[in-house]
Chain A
């Protein structure tokens, strides 16, 4: 433990309470960190690719999640080790940036760490290794740019986009109806996309799920759904050309915030008060009616009498709508949220082409659909599925697919999947290594080896002979100078990924390599770990 002496030979303490802390330094620290990072990567390795396996995760409350989404697995894993937490962060940032490839990035980082360990054993300084990795990653990213293809699609021809989303979905449990889900995702993204500015606001796509029905019943709604029903069972279930008043004040007698008392001491007063109360309810409903609203959506509850009056005046109403949904409705219908009855004006009403109530299955569940809104850019993907686990997993898969579609709209360059891009990069990096003088050369070669580990894991998970398959594909790529050969995971019979229509976005792949390299560099630079020892 760190113990320093002053000029008179007296020991003094540098760290506070240093007896209670454990400390690892130098090569020890690096090795411990690397082994932790590798352990995380090893967990995810088997989930990679279309034939990847799932994990069961049991939360502290006993709920079960079954998934093979890398980000989700890591998030729910209850990790304690600092370096492992870095890996979790890594997968999360890939999720935020790109939305897909969260497993791949961790596997890549794990492979880089594994290679680094060997170099360290040979006595190469970690900083040199980090620098070599940095150079190699630059070569790889450039090479990716070089082999990427521009990818053509229009709003009318969505087939290529659908194909890409299908590649993403095929590794998930929902691959039974991946075609259907891929189409939904692409349509959803296209309807909120701004094709001229190449921008997509994913916030405008709401993903909702309800247990029941089959996965095939999942649908895309051009509008908003609210998990509520009309306040009175006999109000009309369908309203066309609705003008919507969005209120945040209750249909109830006023409750002034100052403390007050109304004293009743004569019969007359009692009667006037009664009349006033009736008039008050009448006024509220009348105000809504006067501005021309045909549907009232309210954040609060209604009094029984007000409810009946609304029903009576033929003014359908929805109560207890949550704040977030209220805002979404306001955005979608172009209306304004009105906090007081006095402030209702016709301009503040939202507009929707069709509002309808829909009931599900044999149970009594009902939902409200608000469709054909003034601002048609808000859409909802409504997922149905056998059970809660399935719906949650579908939500995650749809999110991945949406992100992929968005990335393609932002930047329509693609590279081919199935490990072909990694193999091609590996060849390029290997070739470039010889040009660098100095120790970095070894690090660059190690990087090339690490790149091979992704296709290797793919082959392993698909039940193929990993080394045999990889070397065959590699020699084929070099021989025919064609970067489209990858691992034939689905046993289709060809390993030309162009024929199989398996591709990924260029930025996704580049981001994977860059992020993995960065994190590995960060881990390599740590040479001292001070942590409170177990107590």
Chain B
């Protein structure tokens, strides 16, 4: 008799080979999608959102592309997830990790077709990943001791990262910016302290690093535009009509004169408050909330610079940078800590006026002002710079560096190949497959640059047969070159994360032998 249905009506179930096929197809489709963005000559993608306004993003950042996709295939979701994690953890290599995982699965598909059990493939992949990592570890360069050389390393890494992005035209300039900014952090990874302000206009080259703090606000009317040795009070308090907060209070009067009296009292209250604030001996007052005209006038009279409506982040960062505390009551001026800075002045960037705090106490913070032709360019520039900053700040903590341009993949592939020859049993097929997946990355880089990948990769492989070779793909000249001479470096931490999380993701997908999809939740038909 027929087996009755076990699952609900719309639910579906895919088993064994079919399930595996579904995940392979999904994962490989995702890989092919982002593959063309890999490398210095990778192409960009336009993403148009379905939301209101159909906002357009132009990017070649793997994580950004994948984040915006709406995907139904579960295996593809796993890949998107690892790219997101790579972004959070090290900030760069988001495309590489997806491509490597996809290539691993592509190789695994062939092995499964040749009747090798997925578990055997997984254990082979694990061995290969471990071996590749060790091979890379032996070839890392660590210039921790030598500050000069290390800075040079950072510079190289920044240039390599930026060269695949929109900023590649001015990569020297931006690499310098990023390195300077990260060096100021002195080893902390708190990228919050680096503020990025985007102002359309000018060209990318006009972007600059500022050592102080820039607040995107205007100075109140009739107040000094320039203050030296500023004492700053950072506050979060109502400076409009200080309401009575006791519940249910309301004003009820019976004549106009009473109204005038109460209004007078209110004004008096505000005046007192302003007086108290000024009594702190400050000459600059920054408030998170609005400042109405009346108190602003009072501040102007006292020669105090008042800045209203700074956003929450701005306030916190400012308090952090100037070393003051955020105040809400003003009765004990002696115990409130004030912030200090050498100079406050209004500066012009393009058409906008901004307030510039320089000579702040905490040397860590800085601001990068990005200039560019359009919002899209600026957004992409910000993403690129963010990648570079992330990589650099991670490299400062883990100072090991490897060469770039497909060099690490070739080194690992060589070691993995060696391992495959020594390993008995079916695992050796999986290990060999791992090495093929690794070689796929330089192949894709060459393909994207329009070069003859088969020829170049074969040359590269021959070069790598010699001991201690530094050969990689030089995309600019289209030949095999010495990566150390060309100054193409990458952070070891990024490479390691790519290798490990790609292997992990491939493993996760390979382990699956059944997909059960529940019936989609019924939506109310609103049409």
Contacts and interface: CB of A to CB of B under 8 A. Distances in A.
Interface in B336-374: 336
Contacts of A253: 245-247
Contacts of A262: 246, 248-250
B392 to A, nearest CB: 12
A18 to B, nearest CB: 20
B258 interface: yes
B264 A234 contact: no
Nearest to B521: A60
A53 interface: yes
A463 B120 contact: yes
A31 B332 CA distance: 85
B148 interface: no
Given A53-B511, A262-B250, A308-B327, A270 B262 contact: yes
Interface string B99-131: 000000000000000000111100000000000
Contacts of B508: 54, 66, 173
A58 B515 contact: yes
Contacts of B120: 463
A77 B4 contact: no
A46 B517 contact: no
Given A36-B3, A386-B85, A387-B82, A273 B246 contact: yes
Contacts of B262: 264, 267, 270
Interface string A453-490: 00000000011000000000000000000000000000
Contacts of B192: 364
Contacts of B19: 56
A43 B514 CA distance: 8
B228 interface: no
A264 to B, nearest CB: 5
Contact of A233 (B117, B319, B519): B319
B302 interface: no
Interface string A60-72: 1110101010000
A55 B74 CA distance: 11
Interface string B66-89: 000000101101100110110011
Contacts of B511: 53-54, 66, 68, 173
A439 to B, nearest CB: 25
B520 A62 contact: yes
A389 B19 CA distance: 19
Contact of A274 (B78, B244, B247, B390): B244
A264 B252 contact: yes
- Most chain A beta-carbon contacts within 10 A, residue among B82, B325, B512, B516: B516
A271 B513 CA distance: 75
Contact of A55 (B119, B254, B336, B512): B512
Contact of B265 (A212, A270, A386): A270
Interface string A77-102: 11111001000000000000000000
B516 A57 contact: yes
Interface stretch (A137-145, A178-186, A189-197, A299-307): A299-307
A61 B238 CA distance: 44
Interface in B355-400: 390, 393
Give the bracket for the number of chain B residues in contact with chain A.
Answer: 35 or more
A36 B19 CA distance: 22
Contact of B248 (A28, A232, A261, A463): A261
Nearest to B316: A233
Nearest to B238: A304
B423 to A, nearest CB: 13
Interface in B498-527: 501, 504, 508, 511-521
Nearest to B191: A362
B326 interface: yes
Contacts of A364: 192
B256 interface: no
A277 interface: yes
Interface in B402-418: none
A175 to B, nearest CB: 11
B6 A305 contact: no
Nearest to B15: A43
Interface in B1-53: 1, 3-9, 11, 13, 19, 23
A330 B262 CA distance: 47
Contacts of B189: 361-362
Contacts of B258: 265-266
Contacts of A260: 248
A135 interface: no
Nearest to B122: A51
A76 interface: yes
A489 to B, nearest CB: 10
B462 interface: no
A43 B3 CA distance: 14
Contacts of A212: 85, 88-89
A31 B250 CA distance: 78
A303 B246 CA distance: 12
A28 to B, nearest CB: 7
A80 B13 CA distance: 14
A54 B512 CA distance: 4
B326 A386 contact: no
Contacts of B515: 55-58
Interface residues of A, number: 78
A190 B153 CA distance: 49
Given A212-B88, A263-B252, A389-B81, A31 B264 contact: no
A262 B249 CA distance: 4
B147 interface: no
Contacts of B9: 80
A78 B514 contact: no
B55 interface: no
Given A173-B511, A305-B329, A76 B88 contact: no
Nearest to A308: B328
A14 to B, nearest CB: 24
B476 interface: no
B269 interface: yes
A79 B246 contact: no
Contacts of A81: 4-6
- Most chain A beta-carbon contacts within 10 A, residue among B335, B512, B518, B519: B518
A35 interface: yes
A32 B1 contact: yes
A60 B266 CA distance: 58
A332 B501 CA distance: 38
A28 B1 contact: yes
A176 B261 CA distance: 76
Contact of A58 (B85, B316, B393, B517): B517
B3 A35 contact: yes
Contact of A234 (B11, B72, B251, B325): B325
A40 interface: yes
Given A40-B6, A266-B261, A61 B521 contact: yes
Contact of A277 (B89, B246, B327): B246
Contacts of B269: 274
Given A61-B521, A274-B269, A386 B504 contact: yes
A162 to B, nearest CB: 22
A321 B33 CA distance: 44
A201 interface: no
Contacts of B1: 28, 31-32, 35
Given A261-B248, A463-B117, 5 more contacts: A39-B6, A58-B517, A386-B89, A387-B85, A389-B81
27 contacts: A28-B1, A31-B1, A35-B1, A54-B511, A55-B513, A55-B514, A55-B515, A56-B74, A56-B516, A60-B521, A66-B74, A76-B518, A77-B516, A84-B6, A173-B508, A173-B511, A233-B326, A234-B325, A254-B246, A256-B248, A263-B252, A264-B244, A270-B251, A277-B246, A305-B237, A305-B329, A312-B329
Interface of B: 1, 3-9, 11, 13, 19, 23, 72, 74-75, 77-78, 81-82, 84-85, 88-89, 91, 117-120, 189-192, 236-238, 244-254, 258, 261-262, 264-266, 269, 316, 319-320, 325-329, 332, 335-336, 390, 393, 501, 504, 508, 511-521
